[in-house]
Amino acid sequence: MEFFHIKRDIPFMSYGKLTTAISLITFVLAVFFLVFKGLNFGVEFTGGTVIELRYEQPADLQKIRVQVDTLKYGESQVQAMGTTRDVMVRLPNIKGKTSAQLSDQVLQVLKQSRPDVKVMKVEFIGPSVGEELVSHGLTALTLVCLGIIIYLAIRFEWRFAVSAVIANMHDVVIILGCFAFFQWEFSLAVLAGVLAVLGYSVNESVVVFDRIRENFHKPNMRGKSVPEIIDNAITATMSRTIITHASTEAMVLSMLIFGGAALHGFSMALTIGIVFGIYSSVLVASPLLLMLGVSRDNMVKPEVIKEEAVV
């Protein structure tokens, strides 16, 4: 399906050095913010208290957030739990206060305006659990990257695998850098969004790489240079790229705008990841192929090259 067809190839590779420089600058800035500002880890990672509440009538989450913030316990979370009457409140660790004391104080504040609220469950998440989640999250990222490398190396060639992973890690670091710069809370939902971006971004890279590989074998591309072959591949997939990413971004933005606090971190990570995923798949991964020395010789079997030379 195509909404439009571009007749002339767009010279993307002529801007390869510029886009690579921009990517390098944004990558360095993201790393800088990660090192000097750090991530604002949520209760799942740092430990804290989780309070499950139930109202007899639908609850006003925004009003509950304002009331909980009056306790000045730091970064807190208030979100619905499946129904409009069930609410979950997450509080960070507070020195000198137990989970029971925290839940009692939260209940007292909320009962001032809504006497129909009651505590259903109180859980304490220790710091050791948070450390375990961090290690498991890093392990998940590592395994995903290794899986991508193996898959692309088998399906295409090692140069494609390396360029795709570098581009994907570029996306991940940019997302983490944005969360560090703005000090948005980094929760398990955000981690899930980052992992989703990895798979989403590599899918776009595979589409472009597949067309590049096809172009190396097309008879009408025999006289073309490698940059021209890559430009043709990107231009040929442009319509598909716009349709796919525009529809996906529309869905993600709807979650960001209308999903509330529960989906904010997840949808924000996806929003940033999709935008930079398009950029990296087209303007980072492809120029890296040229830098890594991809050519007709290492993409086409030797016997095929000999036959073409004879012809």
- pLDDT tens-place string over residues 129-171: 667 777 887 787 788 778 877 887 787 788 888 888 888 888 8
Question: Is residue 174 scored above 80 in pLDDT?
Answer: yes
Give the confidence band of 310 by pLDDT, cuts at 50, 70, 90.
very low
Q: pTM of the predicted model, to two decimals?
A: 0.77
Q: Residue 306: its pLDDT value, please?
A: 43
CA 231 to CA 1: how far, in whole Å?
20
| Pair 131, 265: CB distance under 8 Å | no
72-111, pLDDT tens digit by residue? 887 778 888 767 888 888 888 777 788 888 888 888 999 9
Quickly state the pLDDT bin for 303 (edges 50, 70, 90). very low
Report the DSSP beta bridge partners of residue 80: 87
Q: Which of 62-76, 166-180, 296-310 has the lowest mean pLDDT?
A: 296-310
Per the structure block, which two tokens stand in for 235? 């231009």
Has residue 302 got a pLDDT over 60?
Answer: no
> What distances in angstroms separate CA 284 from CA 28, 71, 177, 226, 260, one per listed residue?
15, 47, 18, 16, 33
How does the average pLDDT of the chain come out, rounded?
82
Mean pLDDT of 175-191: 88
